[in-house]
Every structure is written in C-alpha cells, then in structure tokens.
A and B are shown apart, each in its own frame.
Chain A
Amino acid sequence: MSELSIEHCSKYYKKNGEPMCVLKEADMVARGGRFVSIIGPSGCGKSTLFNIIAGLSKPSEGRVRLDGRDITGESGHVGYMLQKDLLLPWRTILDNVIIGLEIRGVPKKKARERALPMLQKYGLKGFEQDHPDALSGGMRQRAGLIRTLLDDKDVILLDEPFGALDAQTRLQMQNWLLQIWSDFQKTVLFVTHDIDEAIYLSDEIYVFTPRPGRIKAKIDVGLPRPRDEKTLMEDRFLHLKRELLLMLREEREPSG
C-alpha cells in the first residue's frame, strides 16, 4: 500500500494571451489503503489534477510523490480510470481488460487466463466475449475498473466513474466498488460531484473551490466500515452532508 502526496501543485494554461490558473497550490496526501475523495464544482481542475498525478500532464509548479519518490511527469506509476469508460470498441470485454498486461509484454493467452476469473468474480460473467456496445453503462464501468485493477498499481485514480449512471445502478456500483477496494487494498483517489457518494465511500474528502481550484477544506468522514444502506441514515452521515452542502453552496454564491 503506497502513499501518494501532492505538493503545492498548480497548473496554468494560456488563454487569449493571458495565463489562466485552473489549479492552485494543491497540497494533499492519500495514505496507504485510504479511500480519498475530491469534490468540487465542474471546471475546478479535478481532471487536470488527475492528469498531473498520472503523469500525462506536467504541473506548472509543485511535485507528485509516491512513497516519497518523485514521479512528477512520469506516467505508468498509478492506475487511472478516465472520466469516460474508454473501452476499445473493436475488442471484446476480455481483450479490453488485458490491454495493460499486453503492454507489459504478458502473452495474450496468459493475460486472458488471469483476467477471466476477475471478470467472473466481479459481475461480468457471461459478457467476456461481448463487445462494449452490447453492455450497459454500469457494466462498461466495471470493465474499465477491472482493466485498471489488472494493471496492478497500488494507487488508483477514479475520475467520476459513476457520473453517468442512474441512482439505482449508482448505489449498486458504489457497493461493488467498496467490495473491490477491500479485496484489493488499494489507495483510491476518487472524483465526484455527488456529496452522498463522497461521504458513503470515503475516509477523507477534499473540497475544492471553483476555478481556479484550491483546496478549501479536508473532511475526515469517520463513519464505521463496512458501510451499507443504513449508513445513509446515520446522524454522522447527515451531519457531514449538511456541512458539505453548505460549503459547496457558499462557493456558488458570488463573493464580490
């Protein structure tokens, strides 16, 4: 279990000749095995932050460290599930999830043998040979996450994986994710718009301000695990929910 730390990361883009700040001096730590959520309004730089952590984009300033080692700008150290499911439409589900293994040079046959039980255990039994367009949104997200898990990194970044799902499927997927998380003991960084989702899943929540995204608060959830539907009714849950709602409402109000 690895610890990820983000030290003073900022990102500027040039827009109409002026530098525009989309992420400002983010400092955060995700300790080993923790489930950490990031919540904030659209456009506050959440995906930008993930791209920086995954090494797909360089921060304008600041560093990213994995267990103390500087990995700023290097890709391939953390698992990253982007905002879209990004399955390859010409590959079957089975062949989609093994692509990370293929890249590492694992022979296709071996990779398939390794992936098959995973698919069957985590809700994709019977869909292994289907193409992605034959699957529901929730199924596709499962496949996307299994692909990330098979890549076997200690830290995984999930960018709004359930954003496009209906409420019912969403809750189902949240429980599914919690099961996977406890089975695999990963450090998870999770982006969401949804307050309930953030509280239900996380150990800690970072609240971002609107653009330029800064960290406004860090909240320790402190709800016992394992969590289930009853958690949603607990006083602590409702208290946190109110706190977060107020915090995000403040942000929406124009401040001057």
Chain B
Amino acid sequence: MAEKSVRDASGPVIEDRDREQAKIRRRAFVGQMIVGLLIIFLWEFLTWIGWLDSYYWSSPSTIVRTGWVAITEGTLLQDLAYTSGATISGFILGTVVGSALGLSFWWSDLYSRITEPYLIAFNAVPKLALAPVLVIMFGIGFDSKVILAFLMTVIVASIAAYSGVKNVDRDLEKMLLSLGAKRHHVFFKVVIPSSVPWMVSSLKINISLALAGTIVGEFISSRQGIGRMILYAGQILNIDLVWVGVVVLSALSIVMYLGTVWLERLLMRGRTPKS
C-alpha cells in the first residue's frame, strides 16, 4: 500500500529539485512582469485622469515619445554609451586595482598593518564631495568620470578582497607547504581562489556606486552623458526629458546589475556563495 502511493503508471516518483526550482523561477518571472506592467498602466491611467499632475509626473507614453525623439533627433544613444562606458571602465579599474591591493596584503603582515588604517580612513571620505576638485584636475571630459567611478569602487573592492585574505584557512596553507609549495603557489592556488567569494560579493554594490560616481561627475561638468542630459532638461524645465533620463539610467543600472549577477555565477561555479 505504502509503496503504491509513491508509484504511478510511469514508475516511481523521482524528486527533482532543479526542475521544481526552474518551475518556480518561471512563475516568478511571469509574476514580476505582470507587476511591472500594472505599475506602468496605473501610472499612465492616473496621469490621464488627472490624479497625478502630468507636468511633474509625465506619463509612460509621453516618456516613450520623448525618448524616441531624443534618440532620433537628439543624442540619447551617444549619451548612454558615454555614461555606461565611463561607469564600466571605472568599475573594472576599481575592482581590479582594489582587489589586487586587498590581495597584496597577504604577502606581508607589517605592510598590511601599516596600510589598513589608511584604507579605512579613505573609505570614510565622501568621495563625491571631491568631484569638483577632480573635474578641475582631470578636465570635464571622460577621464574625470572614470576617475570618480574608480574612486567610488576601489576601496570597497580592496576591503572585500582583504576580508577574503584574512579568512584564508591557515591549515590549507600548511597543507600546501607540506607538499613542497612556495609562497607564490599558496597565493595563486589557495589565497586568490578562496578570496573569490568575498571579492564577488562586492561587485553588485560596486556597479551602482560606479554609476553614481559617473553621474555626479556629469552633473558637475560635462558635455555628454545621461547625467548632463538630465541636468540640462531640468534647467529648461523639460520634465518629460528628465524622466527619460531617469528611466534610461534605471534600465542601465538593471542591465549592469544583471551583468554582475552573470559574472558572479561565472566566478562562483561549483561553490556556495558568501553572502
């Protein structure tokens, strides 16, 4: 009897976690789409019947129309390329330099002890407040935006990598040494891979920090970029165009976030994440 309950015509019931998970993911995706569409419809509807003032709130359809004009007659796509280019360059630079810095602390206790307080102090500096100085130093072009995005990310990345280094299992190091390893073997075969989850955990925060850095750079002074477009639209009271900028930035932010999620998966294959 009991046996019968777990069997059907096609044989025993096989528990398949992956399939169940995939099913839930699909359903969640559909649900998310529905919620998104509902919000857009509600926004459109409320501005249409006048509950929301369309002068301030614009409306989805106006935003799409204005956006289309900005693409075809304006420079929206170039601005988008400019902003995402600066953000991603700063992010990559900050992550690579920061991680290298954090990992380098493994090599010497003295060096890491001397440097650590400065790292923490620099982390406390509100980097965005330095933006005007940086624009003066590096000009109003692309470089100053990359530098800002870099400064926003580098310390977070290095602190994350350093946490990884501090958490390396000393016994793994011993095990490798007993196999005749030199320090560089330990560094490349144990220290770096075991710090990966820590480094990866900073990617998501850092991509949004990089974007914030770039936009502030563009606000301060720039000839291109979505940030400049928003500032300009605000100055001429073209609120529809401000909304276009906000929507484009949100979309960019989401795409870049998904990019880091993908990168995270790639780097964490076969491992459990460090949350």
Please report A residues at the B interface, Cβ cutoff 8 Å. 51, 54-56, 75-76, 78-80, 82, 84, 86, 88-90, 92, 99-100, 102-104, 131, 133, 151
Contacts and interface: CB of A to CB of B under 8 A. Distances in A.
Given A56-B174, A76-B178, A86-B172, A99 B189 contact: yes
Contacts, number: 57
Given A75-B177, A90-B193, A102-B189, 16 more contacts: A54-B178, A76-B178, A76-B179, A76-B180, A79-B178, A86-B169, A86-B171, A88-B190, A88-B193, A88-B194, A90-B194, A99-B189, A103-B181, A103-B189, A104-B180, A131-B271
Contacts of B169: 86
A75 B176 CA distance: 10
Sorted from nearest, which 9 A-B pairs have the closest CB atoms? A76-B180, A80-B178, A100-B179, A86-B175, A54-B178, A103-B181, A90-B193, A131-B270, A75-B177
B171 A84 contact: yes
A75 B178 CA distance: 6
Interface size class of B (residues with CB under 8 A): 20 to 34
A103 B179 contact: yes
Interface string B166-201: 000101101111111100010001100110100000
Q: Which of A56, A79, A84, A103 has most chain B Cβ within 10 Å?
A: A103
B272 interface: yes
Contacts of A51: 174
Contacts of A90: 193-194, 196, 270-271
Nearest to A78: B178
Interface string B230-271: 000000000000000000000000000000000000000011
28 contacts: A54-B178, A55-B178, A56-B174, A56-B177, A75-B177, A75-B180, A76-B179, A76-B180, A79-B178, A80-B175, A82-B175, A82-B178, A86-B171, A88-B172, A88-B189, A88-B190, A88-B193, A90-B194, A90-B270, A100-B179, A103-B176, A103-B179, A103-B180, A103-B185, A104-B180, A131-B270, A133-B272, A151-B179
Contacts of A82: 171, 174-175, 178
Task: Tell me the dominant secondary structure on chain A's binding face.
Answer: loop
Contacts of B176: 99, 103
B190 to A, nearest CB: 7
Contacts of B181: 103
A100 B180 contact: yes
Nearest to B268: A90
Nearest to B172: A86
A220 B196 CA distance: 50
Interface of B: 169, 171-172, 174-181, 185, 189-190, 193-194, 196, 270-272
Nearest to A50: B178
Contacts of B189: 88, 99, 102-103
A104 B179 CA distance: 9
A125 B185 CA distance: 28
B179 A99 contact: yes
Contacts of B175: 80, 82, 86
Given A88-B193, A99-B189, A102-B189, A56 B172 contact: no
Contacts of A76: 177-180
B196 to A, nearest CB: 7
A56 B180 CA distance: 10
A133 B189 CA distance: 19
A131 B268 CA distance: 13
B179 to A, nearest CB: 4
A82 B171 CA distance: 8
A99 B272 CA distance: 21
A52 to B, nearest CB: 12
Contacts of A131: 270-271
A84 B177 CA distance: 15
B18 to A, nearest CB: 14
Contacts of B196: 90
Nearest to A83: B171
Contacts of A54: 178
Nearest to A76: B180
A148 to B, nearest CB: 8
A104 to B, nearest CB: 7
Contacts of A99: 176, 179, 189
A76 B181 CA distance: 8
A41 B191 CA distance: 34
Nearest to A54: B178
Q: Which of B179, B185, B189, B190 has most chain A Cβ within 10 Å?
A: B179
A91 to B, nearest CB: 8
